[in-house]
Amino acid sequence: MNPSTPKVQTNFLDRLISAVAPNMGLRRLHARHVLNQYEAAKPSRLRKGARDNRSPDAQVQHGAVALRGLARNMEQNHDIARGALRTMVNNVIGPGGIGIEPQPRRRDGTIHEEYALALREGWRDWCINPEVTHVHHWAKVQRLVCNTWFRDGECFSQRLKGAVPALDHGTRVPYSLELIEPDLIPMDYFDETKGVQQGIERNTWGRATGYWCYKAFPDGLSWSKRNYDVKRVPAANMHHIASVDRIGQVRGVSIFASVITRLEDIKDYEESERIAAKVAASLTAYVKRGSPEMYGETSLPDSVDGATPQIGMAPGMIIQGLKPGEEIGMIDSNRPNPNLITFRSGQLRAAVAGIGASYSSVARDYNGTYSAQRQELVEQWINYAVLTDDFVGQYVQPVWQDFVQIAHISGVIKAPKDVDPDTMDDALFVGQSMPWIDPLKEALAWTALVQAGFASEVEVMRKRGANPRDVLEQINAHRQTTGKMGLYFSSDFANVMKQPQAAINPDQDQKDQ
């Protein structure tokens, strides 16, 4: 017996049957041995049983760079992949980016409004030129980083603080970001003496301590050797956001990794159907002759020197000159394929499920009832919220913490003495809110919740994607302006009716007394 084969426990009945009928007992033990194994773990003719027991870094090493190139090619040349990527970025980041509301606190726990206001003003100034090229504002930086994160699997940003040679920060706070694509952190750079693996230097606990970067993009277009020289950037000066699937994985892998084959199949199939439809559109008709001997001569009078006769097709035309036994036949190619839409929709649903996008948004297919659309939106929005949380934790929050710290150290925005130092960089990070499918139904539902005391006006404003502070300031400024002009709106009267009667018309109240 093979020592690796697990032993099958026998009972009294097994031993009794084996003693009376050895062949039956053997079959009984064999059946029990089969049932004691996991069926999915046994390869068969119908199941390949493919497996991969390599370490996370070994898996990434053999596939991440190739997958990155395939994903970039799909973004450039496949409309579905580009639309799916744009849909995910827009839902995670949005048009204005991830919002930040500073919430530093005094030692008694109350929010320090003056310091929060100073941080908001300084942050608005910094968001104009947050990166070294002064080309992209902060919301665009977030979208670029998020797009690179999804497509390539990871993205890097060097944190440049204080005085840096030949660098103009362009903002009052001396802090800038240098956006770096993952190609500049070489996947094949290893140095065991320094603990460098896949371009990242780590300590014995697996924590990153440094990043080894090319000084220029290694595209081979420049003859300079500088393109392949590497420099070390301390981990404290580098942001690294990555899509990881396994514990201990260092480098990220594209979210398209599991669906690239399906998306390429969709593209190839659509291309084949499109060519077939073009060929079918070029085919018109043929002349069918009655007997074989008729094929040796020209059938139509307008032919010349035995050339193939040409029939001009026009609406309502009458074809004359056919000989007895000849007829005009039409070519039916069965194109376009009526099953194309069904097949494409099924494949696309599976593909977008793999990357975590919404099928309706990617396919631009919004057929269905209100309940069905809302159910899809509610279930899908959880995935977007999780991705937003990952992006905030790995990128936005560290950037905000750097900004507050550097603003204080540089003296641009000094923290007051009554601020709790541990809460200086406390903030509320506001992502995108779930849109309303039917605004009237949503508004009525939230109105009922607010009136019943189960929700607050602030919560409703955030659900609509608005900042409550900005909304209140706009309402106050608007009412002051319209009041001076003698203009009143329905919302003004609604608020007045909620006030006590004496406050509405105190003069009339005194006359009544």
Comparing 309 with 505, the larger pLDDT belongs to 309
Q: Which amino acid is at 87?
A: T
For 486-503, what is the mean pLDDT?
58
Residue 227 above 90 pLDDT?
no
Q: What torsion, rounded to 10 degrees, do the Cα atoms 497, 499, 502, 504 define?
A: -50
For 482-492, what is the mean pLDDT?
74
DSSP per-residue letters across 47-110: -------S-HHHHHHHHHHHHHHHHHHHHHH-HHHHHHHHHHHHHHT-SS-SEEEE--BBTTS-
Predicted TM-score (pTM) of this structure = 0.76
pLDDT for residue 142: 96
Q: Please report where in the chains the tokens 């390599």 appear, as a residue.
A: 54
For 44-61, what is the mean pLDDT?
79
**Per DSSP, what are the bridge partners of residue 428?**
101
Comparing 226 with 379, the larger pLDDT belongs to 379
Residue 56 above 80 pLDDT?
yes
pLDDT for residue 502: 43
pLDDT for residue 494: 55
Q: Minimum mean pLDDT among 32-46, 173-187, 351-365: which range?
A: 32-46
SS (H, E, C) 195-246: CEECCEEECCCCCEEEEEEECCCCCCCCCCHHHHCEEEEEHHHEEEEECCCC
Choose among 336, 347, 338, 341: nearest CA to 367: 341
Comparing 456 with 180, the larger pLDDT belongs to 180
Q: How far apart are alpha carbons 164 and 127 in whole angstroms?
A: 19
pLDDT in tens, 391-426: 999 999 999 999 999 999 999 999 999 999 999 999
Comparing 348 with 476, the larger pLDDT belongs to 348
149 Cβ contact partners less than 8 Å away, ≥ 6 residues apart: 155, 241, 242, 243, 252, 391
pLDDT in tens, 237-268: 999 999 998 998 999 999 999 999 999 999 99
Per-domain residue ranges of the chain: 1-51, 56-255+356-435
Residue 431 above 80 pLDDT?
yes
Tokens matching residue 490:
């329905």
Give the highest mean pLDDT range of 198-202, 269-273, 331-335, 475-479.
198-202
pLDDT in tens, 134-171: 999 999 999 999 999 999 999 999 999 999 999 999 99
